[in-house]
Amino acid sequence: MQEGILNSMERSLRLLSVLGIAVCLSGQAFASQASPERQAEVARRGTQVMPFALSQTTHIFERTPDGGVQKVVLKDGADPAQLRLVRQHLQDIGDQFAKGDFSGPETIHGHDMPGLEALRQARPGEMSVKYADIQNGAQLQFIASRPELIHALHAWIGAQLGDHGKDAVEGHSAHHHSMH
């Protein structure tokens, strides 16, 4: 009887390993590049929401096992005015997201932005948003409690990466550890 239980556990562990690899690989599919026309339109709309110069910043998005991280850093860290604008914007956006208000990304990326509807439907306490100053910028950390919300955050991150083109990069630590 114990042998049957051990065999069942081994099969379950193998299945979980395969599923884990599939999830990691599927994350790459979320980041398909938008057309140059779409990226230009997103950059134009971004000026309505982001008070800083998009061309002077890089957006770094990381998928984590429990959600994700968005960083905005200055390409030239010596501009204190741009740094203040980046930090204030991310604080404001973080406060809005924590209240379920995703109108900023919707204005820039459209109502049908991947992951956005599920994030809007999150109940209080199912997702937290934490702001932090970082060197030459700021970051938001998103932590979700349900797999559906984690998937929505990963889709949202992929849409950001695709739509922002050269102004956004994918962080690599997301595949190695959680950001707790």
Specify the pTM. Answer: 0.71
The CA R_g of the chain, rounded to the nearest whole Å, is: 18
User: In the sheet that 57-64 helps form, which strands lie side by side, from edge to edge?
Assistant: 127-134, 137-144, 67-74, 57-64, 168-170
* Distance in angstroms (rounded) separating the CA atoms of residues 134 and 152: 25
Determine contact, residues 71/137, Cβ cutoff 8 Å.
yes
- Contact by Cβ (8 Å): 68, 59: no
- Which of 46-55, 101-110, 167-176 is modeled with the greatest confidence? 101-110
In sequence order, which residues have a C-beta less than 8 Å from that of residue 61 and are 6 or more positions away?
68, 69, 70, 71, 157, 160, 161, 168, 169, 170, 171
**Residue 115 pLDDT > 60, yes or no?**
yes
Q: 133 CB contacts (<8 Å, ≥6 apart)?
A: 87
pLDDT, residue 176, reads 39
The answer to whether residue 56 scores a pLDDT higher than 70 is yes
d(CA 29, CA 158): 8
Reported as a single tens digit per residue, the pLDDT across 19-54 is 343 343 344 434 567 676 765 665 565 555 676 777
DSSP annotation of 75 reads S
